[in-house]
Amino acid sequence: DWFMAEFIKDSVKSIKETVGDDQVILGLSGGVDSSVTAALINQAIGKQLTCIFVDTGLLRLNEGDKVMKLYHDNFDMNVIRVNAEDEFLDALKGVEEPEAKRKIIGKLFTDIFAREAKKFKNAKFLAQGTIYPDVIESSRQGSTSKVIKSHHNVGGLPEDLNFTLLEPLRELFKDEVRRVGLELGIPKNMIYRHPFPGPGLGIRVIGEVTKEKCDILRQADDIFISMLEERDLYDKVSQAFVTLLPVKTVGVMGDNRTYEYVCALRSVNTIDFMTATISHFEWSFLEEVVNRIINEVSGINRVTYDITSKPPGTIEWE
């Protein structure tokens, strides 16, 4: 990819000039934008960059370990993992309303990031994975726009932090960011992952969030996603996941009555995520997913497939 190779060469040069001998910190989420930003800056200044990865405990199965393995072990970056699961679960205790959960998660994320960032007294720069659509979006946000869901990407810049921003992807569109990522050696499956909301499983466990529910959901979600990958369906849909409902229903397993949670499979096809249609899977595929989830995940005894398009539904259930 000649064009992106040139972009990388130019960016590396300008990052080196800008940063000089100073230190840079970056909030790494594992998403495409922050990952590519990290890899690019790493290419330019290596160990002068420290990534702070706030593990909210609201991530997918083994996701935190995967992030550490790739960026810390493989890329040899400085990555500090902040295990904040207990803090997030405590803050979410008893909270059911989706927007309330989003606010709590967003605020706590910013606070924890700020707390960690302040430990780096020598850091002058804060790197962010801002891309061109974010720049347009924030310049467009009028006070009249009605909030249907407050889509804040967790990790906004805490106001009391005194850093200079470093945003090397500011002029790139998403597809260009992906090409840069591939060129920098980030694995394809990370680069082409479906989008994952900032609040994570916090809005996929419907109603009150608990560790038990997150653990159940992680297992079910992992089965659905790995079966999509096995059948070469993952890249044919735009976003797929499982949502856990706060409802228990009766079932039968062998000679026993069960009384466990219901989950919903969600999979959509879309170009811009503003409107979406459901993915038309073979029934036999869905049946296999359902059977695996019910047999392998203790805590779920009923699975539904959400066939609501957007609009009127949203992609996430909360």
Q: Pick the closer one to ligand XMP by CB: 27 or 198.
A: 198
Q: Which residues line the annotated binding site for ATP?
A: 29-35
Tokens at 254, concatenated: 């062998």
> What is the spatial distance between Cα 238 and Cα 241, in angstroms, rounded to a whole number?
10
How many chain residues interact with ligand XMP (CB under 6 A)? 14
**Contact window for ligand XMP (CB under 6 A) among 48-56, 71-79, 197-205, 293-301:** 197-205
**Contact window for ligand XMP (CB under 6 A) among 55-63, 207-215, 291-299, 307-315:** 307-315
The strands making up 78-83's β-sheet, listed across from edge to edge, are 78-83, 49-55, 23-27, 123-127, 164-166
Interaction between residue 69 and ligand XMP (CB under 6 A): no
**Contact window for ligand XMP (CB under 6 A) among 38-46, 281-289, 291-299, 309-317:** 309-317
Interaction between residue 200 and ligand XMP (CB under 6 A): no
Interaction between residue 31 and ligand XMP (CB under 6 A): no
Interaction between residue 185 and ligand XMP (CB under 6 A): no
Q: Pick the closer one to ligand XMP by CB: 181 or 199.
A: 199
Residue of 101, 102, 178, 213 that binds ligand XMP (CB under 6 A): 102
Residues near ligand XMP (CB under 6 A) are 102, 149, 151, 153, 195, 197-199, 239, 273, 310, 314-316
